[in-house]
Amino acid sequence: MVELPVVSRRSAIKTAMALGLGGVIVASSAGCTAEDRPQEVTVAGGESGGFYLEFATLLADLLQREQVAERAVAVTTGGSLENIRRVVSGEATMAVALADAAAQAASDAATDAATEAGNGSGTGSGAGDLVALGKVYQNYVHCLVREDSGIRTFADLAGKTAGVGEVGSGTTLTAARIIAAAGLSADTAGPGMAVKQVNLGLNQALEALKDGSISVMIQSGGVPTAPIVAAARELGVRLLDLSDLVPATRAQSGFFYDRVLIPANSYGDAPAVWTVGVANLLLCRRDLADHVVRRTVELLVEQAQDLVPKSSTGVQFLSPETLINTAGLPLHPAAEAAYRALHG
């Protein structure tokens, strides 16, 4: 896989906009009228200090400022799995989630629907109604150990304890799949060799890494993730190279996983390291009003600079040519139509 060079996020967006749309950006349509404007749009985000919540907050602010809704709010959550549940249930209008978690939810829904059809029953809407508004940024799996731990490779984690994300986070799914690909899950490892997986959110896991109650934390997020930056200054940390596990993870769990580079000096003076990347999608239900979807897509494309967390680096956000690459999850029909109109 050829990696894009690391450039400033602002330059990246400007370049991508010029290349991806050929300089033909249609004028933004008028905001929703007062009659059809939703009273409230809720964007399910993530943990405090993480990119999910930061992006969700920026998006909610933009949706309200551009009058897509009377009021738009971001909600703190456990992460991808909880976000998907909130969207499917109608508790949230939109949500950010990892592509592998979204695909798993859709697959489970298809299986449930087939079972219900065989039983002559049906429950109506579910995760099968989950669709994408676009790929909004690239997530990077951080496999973090203390610099003084002596752990140098993923294989060195055999028999050790790992913080693998909060309950409800997509990290729990991704981490479990990487551990399985390494042959270190409870089902595949020899006696005493399995990695013990414990559910700890970003901030909890960093504290546990500091006090030594876990040997490694696995966290999926943008680069850099602010709480990890702080931990690198205070504690001294090392990121493990996961590139050798990408082929096995893809073979066992699907094509959602790519080899991506965390640039040098993203965390203190840590060198560049290859890791596992997963697309992060903006999701909604299929029954979300077309005009809300269309206006949201226009904002993703035309005002991308307002949706990039200030701490981000590199080419990882809202590239016009990758917005439609939703890892097999279908786009909302109105989003698909909007991208066609924008791209010509």
Give me the pLDDT at residue 316, please.
60
Q: What is the CATH number of domain 140-278?
A: 3.40.190.10
Give me the pLDDT at residue 320, please.
74
> pLDDT digit string (tens) for 95-126?
999 999 999 998 887 777 677 767 766 555 56
Pick the most confident of 71-75, 218-222, 320-324, 340-344.
Answer: 71-75
CATH topology for 22-138+280-343 is D-Maltodextrin-Binding Protein; domain 2 (3.40.190)
Shortest CA distance to 154 belongs to which of 127, 129, 182? Answer: 182
Give me the pLDDT at residue 255, please.
93
Shortest CA distance to 43 belongs to which of 303, 292, 224, 315? Answer: 292
CA–CA dist 275, 240 (Å, integer): 8
Give me the pLDDT at residue 196, please.
97
Domain ranges in the chain?
22-138+280-343, 140-278
Which has the higher per-residue pLDDT, 216 or 127? 216
Q: Would you say how long the chain is, in residues? A: 344
DSSP 223-276: SS-HHHHHHHHHT-EEEPP-GGGHHHHHHHH-TTEEEEEEPTTSSTTPPPEEEE
> pLDDT digit string (tens) for 45-74?
999 888 899 999 999 999 999 999 999 999
Give me the pLDDT at residue 203, please.
93
Give me the pLDDT at residue 122, please.
57
Structural contact between residues 97 and 80, judged by C-beta atoms closer than 8 angstroms: yes
Rounded to 5°, the CA angle 208-230-58 comes to: 105
Structural contact between residues 144 and 209, judged by C-beta atoms closer than 8 angstroms: yes
H helix intervals, 119-225: 170-181, 202-211
Q: Residue 313: is its pLDDT beyond 70? A: no
Cα–Cα separations (whole angstroms), residue 219 to 55, 176, 216:
17, 12, 10
Asked if the domains 22-138+280-343 and 140-278 are classified in one and the same CATH topology, the answer is: yes
Q: Residue 132: is its pLDDT beyond 80? A: yes
Give me the pLDDT at residue 310, please.
77
